[in-house]
A = this chain, B = another copy of it.
Amino acid sequence: MSSNADPLANSVWTRPPRSRGAQPTLSREQIVRTAIELLDEKGLDGLSMRRLGSRLAAGATSAYWYVATKDELLELVLDEVMGEIEVPEVGAADWRTAAAALAHGLRAMILRHPWVAGLFGVRPAMGPNAMRMSDRMVGVLIAAGFTGMPVAYASSLLMSHVIGSATMESAWRRSLAPGKTANEAVEDMRPYIDDVAARYPDYGGWWRENRDLDADRLQDEGFAFAVERLLDGLQSWLDRGGEAGPA
């Protein structure tokens, strides 16, 4: 995390006093932390620079000394939550377990902070914490036997899936009326869905047979199912020796 060669230089005790100027009352870390607080409470739209300022007990534009732009703040915020993901030790388990842990960890983070789903599309996640995650993923895949471009392909496959499913899931959750459970929401939409089902034969037939389900459990199970299928696909490619396989 620290980009400092000498750890002592960063220590509270040995850090030299400021060369000039007033003591800062704010800090980048504090700003990022408070922004995340605000985002968790009120979502992406709930974060404005003015609100951030007032929650920091500071002026409306004070944060601009530490952060060039709101976009930049969001980039910092994105990387900060990427740091929450627990990465497995290299070589601690077989590669499937490790890769699945990374995928589930990323998903858990997004569910904890649903607003991040809307951030992945703005700027690529390239901060140090995102890099740490990529590094671990690459390490796991190389240990599994991948080499060359397929390392990047497989890594991107896993990340893409998590981000895509979390994006869709958080869109779905956002569309729920605040007080309602997922199942109640499905109940509310049933007339519309039934109407669609009547018009589309395949979807409709499936829906008629599977309308009684727990919408929340479905998301978790679907994600776990997807990760396993996805790892199966990668594994079988490895087992075949990296060839295209049967058309």
Contact = CB atoms under 8 A, between A and B. Distances in A.
B228 A230 contact: no
A237 interface: yes
Interface string A105-140: 000000000000110111110101001101110110
A228 B245 contact: yes
Interface in A146-195: 148-154, 156-157, 159-165, 167-168, 170-172, 174-177, 185, 188-189, 191-192
Contact of A228 (B5, B196, B244): B244
Interface of A: 1, 4-8, 11, 13-14, 45, 90, 96, 117-118, 120-124, 126, 128, 131-132, 134-136, 138-139, 142, 148-154, 156-157, 159-165, 167-168, 170-172, 174-177, 185, 188-189, 191-192, 196, 199-206, 209-210, 213, 218, 221-222, 225-226, 228-234, 236-237, 244-245, 247
